[in-house]
Amino acid sequence: MNLPILLFGIVLSTLYGAIFHFLKGGSVYRLFLFIVLSWVGFWVGHIVGGLLKFSFGAVGVLNTGMATFGSAIFLFVGQWLSLIDVQRK
């Protein structure tokens, strides 16, 4: 994987996290959380797609389809888990 593809993946996953934050709202902490979740999910999805030999929406060597799917899963699960309110007694 060369540098332009790596940068494209970082920009695309950051955009996914920022759009998700725009739709769901929240503080700057949540923006940071969503961007990090999007980065992790994006690259996990890319790697899983490569391991399973499943590719759709590829841009060069970047498995954009599976990476987007991984990013979406991480964002929705992370957002759901961040809503848990721990009650202390």
Helix, strand, coil in percent for the chain, rounding step 5: 75, 0, 25
**H or E element at residue 76:** helix 64-82
Per-residue pLDDT of 23-80, as tens digits, reads 998 889 999 999 999 999 999 999 999 999 888 888 889 999 999 999 999 999 999 9
Q: Does residue 62 lie in a domain region?
A: yes
How many domains does the chain fold into? 1
State the residue range of the domain holding 28: 3-82
Q: Does residue 52 lie in a domain region?
A: yes
- 3-state DSSP assignment of residue 59: strand
Q: Does residue 87 lie in a domain region?
A: no
Question: What pLDDT score was predicted for residue 86?
Answer: 76
Q: Does residue 69 lie in a domain region?
A: yes
Question: What pLDDT score was predicted for residue 63?
Answer: 93
Q: Does residue 89 lie in a domain region?
A: no
pLDDT at 89 exceeding the cut of 80: no
Q: Does residue 63 lie in a domain region?
A: yes
